[in-house]
Amino acid sequence: MSFPLLTATAVLPAIGAIATAAVPAAKRTAAKWLALLFSLATLVLAIVVLVRFDPDGDRYQLTESHAWIADFGVRYELGVDGIAVALIALTALLIPFIILAGWHDADPSPSSQHRSSRGGTEETGTEPTSIAEGRWRPTQGFFALILAVEAMVILSFEATDVFLFYIFFEAMLIPMYFLIGGFGDRAHEHGEKAAATQRSYAAVKFLLYNLAGGLIMLAAVIGLYVVAGNFSLTEIAEARANGSLDMATSTERWLFLGFFLAFAVKAPLWPLHTWLPNAMQESTAPVAVLITAVVDKVGTFAMLRFCLQLFPEASKWATPVILVLAVISIIYGALLAVGQRDIKRLIAYASISHFGFIIMGIFAMTSQGQSGATLYMVNHGISTAVLMLIAGFLISRRGSRLIADYGGVQKVAPVLAGTFLIGGLATLSLPGLAPFVSEFLVLVGTFTRYPVIGIIATFGIVLAALYTLVLYQRTMTGPVKPEVAAMPDLRVREIAVVAPLVVLLVFLGVYPKPVTDVVNPAVEQTMSDVEKKDPQPEVEAAK
């Protein structure tokens, strides 16, 4: 038996989560280092997966299969294709930066430290938190939860059993929920109390949207079992392909909708997106990155892996509607981003617009579209991480999320402003930076089949230029506002977070081949599942 590499990649952060949570309350810094160490070790394993993966080999590689719950027809089956490998690498890459960026986010708030330090003289105070301050370990919890999310996300990328996937797809909501609700952004115009209320609202909204989507998917999962008799993705897809598993058209469509709805909430697709701005606005910047750059990718990934493979006919049937929704997402997200006063909310709406592009690329049913969409998932993860993390650094300096509170930052903090600009330019898909390649591929892929949709979506790019450049102009240029004047530039830790990601953005912008090489064979496979040929056969004239 070979070494279970995929299991190890997911179990390592899970062990890290437990270890971090077990660190004694007083040793906050040790917990942080431990978490960072585990996330780096996971990255190493992810790189090993990437190296061991042979793009031209079998469809699913490094597979593992063990009996689990025979009564439900469930097996513990893991396997990765090119798309999954790319996303696992993205996840493992981003988590160390997220941990590093959130280094101080879960330290006990200055106010409560203050209180507990004077606790002796203020026995009659109304703040009882200090009573149990010894046992309440927010820092350990914060980093443990991030690692737990990483473990579940990686497992859901690896699972080739529908039930197994569903379990982690749902279970990751719980740590995410605590990350949003328990460790929110402290910057709030109406003080900490209002922030706590807002935060808990955002966390509950996040959970209810996703749980409802997940439960609808549960009904579809059960339906799939009744129809197919097992949960193995490979077996069902094969039986679908050779015709031994026949689904009534209406059954297939209902099941497809059940699955798609859950993924569309997660992705998020208009009109199921409204939880995202709240969640991203209220959580700390690293957690916001975790939501949009990592967790949401599971939604778009699952559309590619499960919707298209299990229900090819229904996918084709639903394509027109989904494309229209995707275009609405693109334009609507961009328009709302233009009108935002809050930096993080702006980035959230920008993300909705970008997820529109990804979903459009997937359902355009062309190989350019789908490899563009996969590439987009990776690039969007990196570019949003850069933009959001720097926005987080900026916000933590001034204590406000409002765009209007800033001005002239580039004069006092040129490095911060410069990297922020690069993140912004990546978001608007400037040629030479990574997102450009993927956005271009998605648009080309869509245009060949659905020209009108493609043309409308192009306006999303124009709007993207508008909202990022206006954001930059208002916050970074102009006269230096007095509150900003003493703002320090990026610290060493912050540069360590941003610099590698910026380098990666430029590198993948100039030379995306490493990613496309891994992704393309898998995309071809998916395309053949839905029996779609690219509209211009002369491209494949190699025979």
Partner 1 sequence: MSATAVHNLWTTAAVAADPISKIDAPKIEYGQLAPTLIVVGAAIIGVLVEAFVPRKSRYYAQMFVSAVALAAAFAAVVALAADDYGTTKAGIAAMGAIAVDGPALFLQGTILLTALVGLFTFAERRLDPAAHGNRVDSFAAQAASVPGSDSEKKAVKAGFTTTEVFPLLLFAVAGMLIFPAANDLLTLFVALEVFSLPLYLLCALARRKRLMSQEAAVKYFLLGAFASAFTLFGIALLYGYAGSMSYATIAQVVDGTVQDVNPALADTMGNDALLLVGAALLVMGLLFKVGAVPFHMWTPDVYQGAPTPVTGFMAAATKVAAFGALLRVLYVVLPGLRWDWRPVMWAVAIVTMLGGAIVAITQTDIKRLLAYSSIAHAGFILAGVVAATPSGVSSVLFYLAAYSFVTIGAFAVVTLVRDAGGEATHLSKWAGLGRRSPLVAAVFAVFLLAFAGIPLTSGFAGKFAVFKAAAEGGAAPLVVIGVISSAIAAFFYIRVIVLMFFSEPRPEGPTVAVPSPLTMTAIGAGVAVTVVLGVAPQYFLELAGDAGVFVR
C-alpha dihedral (206, 212, 217, 220), degrees to nearest 10: -170
Query: Of the listed pieces 101-109, 196-204, 479-487, 502-510, which binds partner 1 according to CB under 8 A?
Result: 196-204
347: left (phi over 0), alpha (psi -120 to 50) or beta: alpha
The span from the CA of 168 to the CA of 148, in Å, is 11
For 254, residues 6+ apart whose C-beta sits below 8 A from its C-beta are: 220, 223
Q: How far is the CB of 285 from partner 1 (least distance, A)?
A: 19
195 binds partner 1 (CB under 8 A): no
Going by the DSSP 8-state scheme, the letter that residue 307 receives in this structure is I
Q: Please pick, from the candidates 8, 37, 204, 335, the single residue that binds partner 1 as defined by CB under 8 A.
A: 204
Q: Please pick, from the candidates 11, 48, 211, 466, the single residue that binds partner 1 as defined by CB under 8 A.
A: 211
Of 196 and 466, nearer to partner 1 (C-beta) is 196
Of 48 and 218, nearer to partner 1 (C-beta) is 218
Of 56 and 71, nearer to partner 1 (C-beta) is 71
Q: Please pick, from the candidates 37, 167, 465, 480, the single residue that binds partner 1 as defined by CB under 8 A.
A: 167
182 binds partner 1 (CB under 8 A): yes
Going by the DSSP 8-state scheme, the letter that residue 243 receives in this structure is T
Q: Please pick, from the candidates 2, 126, 242, 250, the single residue that binds partner 1 as defined by CB under 8 A.
A: 126
Residue 538 burial (10 A CB sphere; 0-12, 13-18, 19+) = exposed
Q: Please pick, from the candidates 18, 131, 485, 503, the single residue that binds partner 1 as defined by CB under 8 A.
A: 131
Minimal CA–CA distance to 284: which of 180, 149, 424, 153? 180
Query: Of the listed pieces 45-53, 206-214, 267-275, 431-439, which binds partner 1 according to CB under 8 A?
Result: 206-214
Rounded alpha-carbon distances, angstroms, from residue 8 to 5, 11, 77, 154: 5, 5, 14, 10
Of 137 and 397, nearer to partner 1 (C-beta) is 137
Q: How far is the CB of 187 from partner 1 (least distance, A)?
A: 18
Task: Give residues 57-116 in contact with partner 1 (rule: CB under 8 A).
Answer: 67-72
Query: Of the listed pieces 51-59, 172-180, 286-294, 358-366, which binds partner 1 according to CB under 8 A?
Result: 172-180
The span from the CA of 285 to the CA of 289, in Å, is 6
Task: List the structure tokens of 421.
Answer: 């600009």
The DSSP H or E segment spanning 369 is helix 367-398
Q: Please pick, from the candidates 8, 15, 195, 216, the single residue that binds partner 1 as defined by CB under 8 A.
A: 216
Size of the site for partner 1 (CB under 8 A): 43
181 binds partner 1 (CB under 8 A): yes
Rounded alpha-carbon distances, angstroms, from residue 336 to 100, 266, 331, 341: 31, 19, 9, 10
- Which residues of this chain interact with partner 1, rule CB under 8 A? 67-72, 126-129, 131-132, 135-137, 166-168, 170-171, 173-174, 177-178, 181-182, 196, 199-200, 203-204, 207-208, 211-212, 215-216, 218-219, 222-223, 225-226
